[in-house]
Structure 1
Amino acid sequence: MDNHGDDFGTWVAENGAVQRSEEEWAVIAGYVRHAANKIGPALPLCLPGEPQECGRTAQQHVLAWAASLKASAHHIIETSAPSQARAAHVAGPLYQRRLTELREQR
């Protein structure tokens, strides 16, 4: 995976994220990559210090790989639902309810 979200640019102030150390971001990136790899396709070993180190931060990997995981999950919904209406419900209202629950836990 070559797409690490580099096309976003640096013109937007970015200071709203949870503050974590590079080591903490690396652990989370590893978890997200592991989850994404379980449903495929495999993501590279390119975190700082890994065999294919790409030079991007662990936080950037968390974001890029979470996007990959979200896309893979959405693809599973689309290909597994018995109808387009059911897929739309699961990807829409059901997803939004779960997201609301997660935000409230924060």
Structure 2
Amino acid sequence: MSRTEEEWGHIARYLRHAANKIGPDLPLCLPGEPRECGQTAQQHVLLWASDLKARGHHLIEESAPSHDEAAYYAGPVYKDKLTLLRDSSERRSA
């Protein structure tokens, strides 16, 4: 996907904010990110999205009353949501 550095930066900030809402004790990136830590805004998006995905999965595991229910929400429900997002993205780009 083609985005400007500024657009990637906005997405990275949103992802970091979401991750901080789910899990405490997350360090905020340095002022002036992403350049101060040496990574691009797109790399920040990928890192924070990975962190958010892991935190979401962990939250499912901790919240589900059983292993089977956790597997259901982390598996079929997740895949259905992902399919809807991909379909929506394809319709917008067509």
Task: Pick the TM interval, shorter chain.
Answer: 0.7 to 0.9
Specify the SS of the correspondent of 2:68. Answer: helix
2:51 corresponds to 1:44: no
Count of paired positions: 88
- Work out the percentage of aligned pairs sharing the same amino acid: 60
Structure 1 residue ranges without an equivalent (≥5): 1-17
The letter of the residue matching 1:58 is A
Under a length normalisation based on structure 2, what TM-score does the superposition of the two structures give? 0.87
1:15-57 residue CA offsets vs partner (Å, 9 max, x unmatched): xxx100000000000000000000114142237x24x920100
1:104 aligns with 2:87: yes
Q: Distance in 2 between matches of 1:73 and 1:43?
A: 18
SS of alignment partner, residue 3 of structure 2: coil
Residues 33, 43 of structure 1: 8 Å contact kept: no
Among residues 64, 68, 80, which one is paired with 1:81 in the alignment? 64
Aligned residue type for 1:97: D
The Cα offsets for residues 48-94 of structure 1, whole Å up to 9 and x where unpaired, read as x24x9201000000001100000000000001000000000000000
Q: Does 1:67 align with 2:56?
A: no
The amino acid across from 1:21 in the alignment is: T
Give the number of the structure whose residues are more often helix, by fraction. Answer: 2
Unaligned runs of 5+ in 2: 90-94
Q: Distance in 2 between matches of 1:33 and 1:43?
A: 9
Q: Normalising by structure 1, what TM-score?
A: 0.77
